[in-house]
Structure 1
Amino acid sequence: MKVLVLRPERAAERTARALEARGMTAVLAPVLAIETLDAVIPEVVYDAVLATSANGLRKLKGRPEIGRLRRVPLIAVGDRTAEAGREAGFAVVHVAEGDGRSLVADAAARFPTPSRFLHAAGADRAFDVAGALAAHGHAIDVVELYRATAAPALPDAARTALSAGEVDAVLHHSRRIAETFLTLAAAAGLTEAIRPLPHAALALRVAEPLFAAGCPIVGVATRPDEAALFDALAGVINPGSQSGGERSN
């Protein structure tokens, strides 16, 4: 069973190991690359740092400001992001289970109004954390530390495997990944090759471009984490699975 993994390289390698532990082979074909941005971090005292991705914390770890920022609590979305926070030196790490909305709810519940937060963010964001916290009376500085840049063409590994009919399923960790993959596959003349494949998406928002493209087999994770994504994958490659998340066919 060969599964196409489209996320950026460092994260893709971790996903590959997890797939191999489940008896599957990953075909690594990143359609996005992570580019560092030289953003200015204000010299103010924050009540906490917020992180909606591990990439933001990895970029923050290399900044000189990390020495003062790691002294305050971190609120991270999910275990992977929390792990990156601990690697960056944060001693107090709270894990908000879910997405940006759960992070906002966690921050609003833990800190009195008004509090001030730093959001270690990417240039492309699925949810307006700052706007949601402002509605609770908090102040937040959004610092864009990285940008996900689309590949100019479908990676050779994906093109070769798809052309040979060797891909059994495709994983989509973000909406941007799904949209970029569809665009690059169309440019390579491979739309008809990818449409009938089983696809697994991290959330309904991630799956929407696949539905719009006419993909008939799309599994949607019931939670925005990789364990649930693998459950959705199991559901589309083994339709009798009881843990396959939502499915369209």
Structure 2
Amino acid sequence: MVRVLVTRPEPGASRTARRLEAQGFQPVLLPLTETAALPFERGAVPPAVAVAVTSANAVRHAPKELIAALAALPCHAVGKRTAEACRTTGFLSVAEGPGDAGALADAISGELAGKDLAYLCGRVRFPAFEQRLATAGVRVHAIETYDTVRLTYADAEIAAHLSNRPVDAVLLYSAKAAEALSPLTRRPALRGLFEKAAFLALSARVGNALDGIGGEKIRVASQPDEDALLALLSLPG
């Protein structure tokens, strides 16, 4: 059975594991990052005519009073999973975007030009979304609700997570996880666990963050969503 290492944090890691099992793969969980809520200053809600969310974590970690203050505004979510999280959290009118933050910015910039947008986001994020909107004349108010931190493991901990057996593929969802994984693959005690693995990246940016791993071992999803990422597992090696 093909052993697939899942590096994303919970709760997504367990959800991905269930999908892998349903497709006949053996998931191995080793979260390389975790998310943590950031403190929120009461009264820090900006004037805005709409809300944008490019990560489900941004609403999962948002305090109730912030969601309550923004819930009646039109909410633009980057894709399906984030839209579901927004609705579950309490947003009343949620539009599902194309799945890519840059494409979402292009899609909403016309109607929001010259207006204020509340952007629920993480402290660690790709700047293109805000840059594109600012260029189009949208006043973006970033509200950082969570941070992403790297997890560290001793060699013995990683070997135990992997049952001291090599993995056939590694799923990478973020550049931060890719940056955390790269040095692990070079540790003498762990090198054998990764030497035959394919490294499957959610986007080119994630793949580019893999340092010291041969390009022939890296595959990039055709679009930045989990369906496209898991489809890479079925391609011939």
TM-score by length of 2: 0.90
2-side partners of 1:112 and 1:139: how far apart? 9
Alignment of 1:192-231 (within 5 A): 193-210=193-210, 212-214=212-214, 216-231=216-231
2-side partners of 1:106 and 1:115: how far apart? 15
Cα deviation, 1:107-126, whole Å, max 9, x if unaligned, reads 213x2421111111111112
Contact 2:39–2:145 under 8 Å retained in 1: yes
2:175 matches 1:175? yes
Query: What percent of counterpart residues are identical?
Result: 33
Cα deviation, 1:55-87, whole Å, max 9, x if unaligned, reads 001112x33121120100111111111110011
- The unaligned stretches of length 5 or more in structure 1 are 240-249
Partner of 2:55: 53
* 2:92 aligned counterpart, secondary structure: coil
Cα deviation, 1:184-229, whole Å, max 9, x if unaligned, reads 4435742454243112111111112337422532221001000000
Cα deviation, 1:3-53, whole Å, max 9, x if unaligned, reads 100100211011111111101121111010111111336333311111111
Contact 2:166–2:194 under 8 Å retained in 1: no
How far 1:131 sits from its partner (Å)?
Answer: 2.2
For 2:180, give the aligned amino acid: T
* 2:121 aligned counterpart, secondary structure: strand
Give the CA RMSD over aligned residues.
Answer: 2.2
- The unaligned stretches of length 5 or more in structure 2 are none
TM-score by length of 1: 0.86
* 1:153 aligned counterpart, secondary structure: coil
* 1:9 aligned counterpart, secondary structure: coil
* CA pair 68-207 structure 1, distance change in 2 beyond 3 A: same
Moved more, 40-49 or 100-109: 40-49
* 2:11 aligned counterpart, secondary structure: helix
For 2:96, give the aligned amino acid: V
Alignment of 1:101-112 (within 5 A): 101-109=102-110, 111-112=111-112
Contact 1:4–1:158 under 8 Å retained in 2: no
For 2:198, give the aligned amino acid: P
* CA pair 151-185 structure 1, distance change in 2 beyond 3 A: farther
Partner of 1:149: 149
Partner of 2:72: 71
Partner of 1:124: 124
* CA pair 65-20 structure 1, distance change in 2 beyond 3 A: same
* CA pair 170-43 structure 1, distance change in 2 beyond 3 A: closer
Contact 2:164–2:193 under 8 Å retained in 1: no
1-side partners of 2:79 and 2:221: how far apart? 15
Partner of 1:246: none
How far 1:167 sits from its partner (Å)?
Answer: 1.5
For 1:137, give the aligned amino acid: G
